[in-house]
Structure 1
Amino acid sequence: MSLKPLTLWTLRGHAGTPNPWKVLMILEELKVPYELKLVDLADLKKEPYESLNPNGRVPTLEDPNTGITIWESGAILEYLVDTYDKQHTISFTAGSKEYYESKQWLHYQVSGQGPYFGQAAWFTVYHPEKVPSAVDRYVNEIRRVLGVLNRSLQDKVYLVGGKYSYADAAFVPWFEVAALFWSSEMDLEKSFPHVNSWLNRIKARPVIVKTIDDNLKARAAAAAAEGK
């Protein structure tokens, strides 16, 4: 039976927004049909979008095949692999050790990497006042997160079960954002070599290459439009 396309909501003109981007990667990996719907920043906390996502953020996913609407990017990834990865190509058998370890790493991404990298970006770029102590705090937290990953990856090719999974992919978008602002501070190749090798393996995957390339093109188009 053919699937109806899922709907992924993301921000208009904010191509670099990392959380919808990681959902895109998993949709592409699983070859699940989807369409994008764009919402303006000013409309996130208004109807009709607020009825879909009372938190007023992106992403939100609507699945007409199941009637489920779900928000929070980590929950969306779990939903997608549970629903559309029955062969466990990028996930693991329910109840297995690897099943719970992959959840562990996804939760670390959404509670650790995402917030700390996001706050570092906010205080580096968007906060109206310069607060060096805040920038230092969150850039140091980036280094701490990298240290956790580096120790965990020293004898591993991927985070869980010796294979690429959705848990690996979830980390990529915020690394792309971090590379724009703190490449010298991070210095992955020198200071976090296991993270560097792992990230390069993930980014060599055709789906990840495509998603990064599409995002860069969309970001360039958004920047050009804002410059008019």
Structure 2
Amino acid sequence: MSTPDITLYTWPTPNGFKVSITLEELELPYKVEAIDISTNRQKEEWFLKINPNGRIPAITDGEQRVFESGAILLYLTDKYDKERKISYPPGTPEYYEQLGWIMWQMGGLGPMQGQANHFSVYAPVRSDYAIRRYVDETKRLYDVLEARLIESPFLAGDKYTIADIICFGWVRSSRIHLDFNLGNWPSLNKWFETISKRPAVQKGLKVPPPSKTEEEWKNILADARKRILSKENTDRY
């Protein structure tokens, strides 16, 4: 196995945590470059050479660049998880189950919950239609997770893998941004609590170091939701 020369370009977001947690689980050495997305640093020319889409996270490993969080997790496990600690071997049925959940998160959970977060917390105007549409779709996707986790302890099978890591940060975010009660999905809640206790997960959630505690963010975002709901609904039908 080649020696890693990894730099992680990231910010404390659900997508950023996917990669820092994976690196910690694999016990790989890495450097961190904090990319404060509130300043649009991710749009600067130097960063666009690493990720042409101007989004975090991204990594470089020597001369190799890898962008898009799903691609990064597959790269790291393909290259460095030779013992298959958090992944299944390519070509196996479990590998394709793992791949399915990765694509499901990238195409469904992330985009839909991201829109729910935006319209519930960050939008400059109030749209009840958009809030309802995306929050309801996020809840439907949580129902999908619940159904899977009733029949399986982890998303890809009997062991914890990058399929779980890629979803974990978004599930964690739902309690902060959307005030979801995970107790409404008992199997999902059990899965979440199990993963939350992993030392590598706890380390990965501190990369880069957060400026506020989870409880502080929860209070700030609760106030933001109230501000949006205090505005006049802009929907026109």
TM-score w.r.t. structure 1 length? 0.86
User: CA 1:197 to 1:79, structure 2 compared with 1: closer, same or farther past 3 Å?
Assistant: same
Structure 2 partner of 1:226: none
Shift of 1:4: 4.2
Q: C-alpha offsets along residues 159-217 of structure 1, whole Å, 9 cap, x if unaligned? A: 1231111111111111222111323xx3321x2111111111111211112333x2595
CA contact (8 A) 1:25 1:207 kept: yes
Give the Cα separation in 2 of the matches to 1:180 and 1:26: 22
Identity of aligned residues (%): 38
CA contact (8 A) 1:7 1:62 kept: yes
Shift of 1:31: 0.7
Match of 2:195 among 177, 202, 205: 202
What residue ranges of structure 1 are gaps of 5+ in the alignment?
224-228
Code of the residue aligned with 1:156 in structure 2: it is S
Secondary structure of the equivalent of 1:75?
A: helix
Between the two proteins, the alignment pairs up a number of residues equal to 212
Structure 2 partner of 1:117: 113
Give the Cα separation in 1 of the matches to 2:92 and 2:160: 16
1:51-70 aligned within 5 A: 51-64=49-62, 67-70=63-66
CA contact (8 A) 2:8 2:31 kept: yes
Give the Cα separation in 1 of the matches to 2:208 and 2:10: 15
C-alpha RMSD over aligned residues: 1.9
Indicate whether 1:6 and 2:6 are aligned: yes
Q: C-alpha offsets along residues 146-169 of structure 1, whole Å, 9 cap, x if unaligned? A: 111111111211112311111111
Structure 2 partner of 1:100: 96
User: CA 1:216 to 1:68, structure 2 compared with 1: closer, same or farther past 3 Å?
Assistant: closer
1:31-110 aligned within 5 A: 31-40=27-36, 41-64=39-62, 67-110=63-106
Indicate whether 1:193 and 2:186 are aligned: yes
What residue ranges of structure 2 are gaps of 5+ in the alignment?
217-237
TM-score w.r.t. structure 2 length? 0.83
Give the Cα separation in 2 of the matches to 1:210 and 1:47: 30
User: CA 1:70 to 1:153, structure 2 compared with 1: closer, same or farther past 3 Å?
Assistant: same
Q: C-alpha offsets along residues 36-73 of structure 1, whole Å, 9 cap, x if unaligned? A: 11234323223111111110111111001xx3101000
Structure 2 partner of 1:163: 159
Point out which structure has higher relative CO (alpha carbons under 8 A, 6+ apart): 2
